[in-house]
Amino acid sequence: MGTMRDAKTPDPARRNERSREAILNAAVELVGEVGYARLTVEAIAARAGVGKQTIYRWWSSKGAVVLDAFIAWSGAGGDTSLPDTGDIEKDLRAVLRATVAELREPRFDLPSRALTAESQMDPELAKQFVDAVLRPHLEATKERLRGAQKAGQVAKGIDLDVAVELLFGPLYHRWLLRTAPLTEAYADTVVDYALRALGPSEPAGARTPNAPGKRAPKGARKGGAA
């Protein structure tokens, strides 16, 4: 009766913060050392100097620990909003370049791949992963695009969810499948192409592909899609 909790649910108030941190640190370290597949709960517990039960008490699976560890380590939850310089192309380039930079960083790349992979087999983890890690970035980009739409830099009828996917989809595809290297120039090219699709109609002659101009800087043209 009353506020009696389920007997099995642990009391977060009594949780040992020290253990929590040790577990998360151990998880991050071990993913880096042996990869996700060879990572074991037992090894995390041993490295953290913690009983296995303490892990199972607070997390439901190896994936959940790694997700938390990744979130804690990557400082997720901070401000994900894009800069708004008034120039949508410039701002998108900044965000796609930053994304490429992250994906090239092993500390980021490895757990991200692992979590993406694990998400294919664990819908609950997938939801948490997308909501905690990816959605904020996608939403921030969408928000910036909405601003551009109001400013007339993006056509009115555009579906902004698809617009976001037009930007991140190609990166994601190339990253996961390793079909070609991820470079900043590639990020620029994707922004360039995407904005052609999203932008409003233009005066005749203004949209000649490859015409010199800020939309198609040399770097993007040349090495863009190596």
Partner DNA sequence: TGGTAAACGAGACGGTACGTCGAGTCTTCTT
Partner DNA sequence: AAGAAGACTCGACGTACCGTCTCGTTTACCA
Binding site for a second copy (CB under 8 A): 35-37, 113-114, 116-121, 123, 126, 130, 134-135, 138, 155-163, 165-166, 168-174, 176-180, 186, 189-190, 193-194, 196-198, 200-210, 216, 221, 224-225
Selection from a second copy, DNA, none that 198 binds (CB < 5 to 8 A by kind) is a second copy
Cα 149 to Cα 200: distance, rounded to the nearest angstrom: 9
Assign 3-state DSSP to the chain and report helix, strand, coil percentages, each to 5: 65, 0, 35
Which of a second copy, DNA, none lies near 68, with the C-beta cut-off 5 to 8 A by kind? none
Nearer to DNA by Cβ, of 49 and 200: the residue is: 49
10 makes contact with DNA (CB under 7 A): yes
* Binding partner of residue 203 among DNA, a second copy, none, CB cut-off 5 to 8 Å per kind: a second copy
Determine if 74 is a binding residue for DNA (CB under 7 A). Answer: no
Is there a contact between 33 and 2 (Cβ–Cβ < 8 Å)? no
**Smallest distance, Å, CB 141 to a second copy?**
13
Token couple for 170: 């190609």
DSSP 116-154: HHHHTT-HHHHHHHIIIIIHHHHHHHHHHHHHHHHTTSS
11 binds, among DNA, a second copy, none (CB under 5 to 8 A by kind): DNA
Give the side-chain half-sphere CA count within 13 A for 161.
1
- CA 115, CA 92: separation in Å to the nearest integer? 25
Interface residue with DNA among 32, 38, 159, 196 (CB under 7 A) is 38
Total count of residues recorded for the chain: 226
Contacts 24+ apart (CB under 8 A), 211-216: 214/89, 215/89, 216/192
CA triple 183-184-187, angle to 5 deg:
95
Q: What is the 3-state secondary structure (H, E, C) of 187-220?
A: HHHHHHHHHHHHCCCCCCCCCCCCCCCCCCCHHH
Q: Of residues 21, 32, 33, 51, which one binds DNA by CB under 7 A?
A: 51
Q: Among the candidate windows 53-61, 123-131, 158-166, 191-199, which touches DNA by CB under 7 A?
A: 53-61
With CB under 5 to 8 Å by kind, the binding choice for 32 among DNA, a second copy, none is none
Per-residue x/- track, 145-184, DNA (CB under 7 A)? ----------------------------------------
| Residue 111 C-beta: closest distance to DNA, Å | 16
Q: Which two tokens stand for residue 34?
A: 């042996």
Closer residue to DNA, CB minimum distance, 15 or 222: 15
Single-letter residue type at 60: S
In the complex, which residues of this chain contact DNA (CB under 7 A)? 10-11, 13-16, 18-20, 22, 38, 40-43, 49-54, 56-58, 61-62
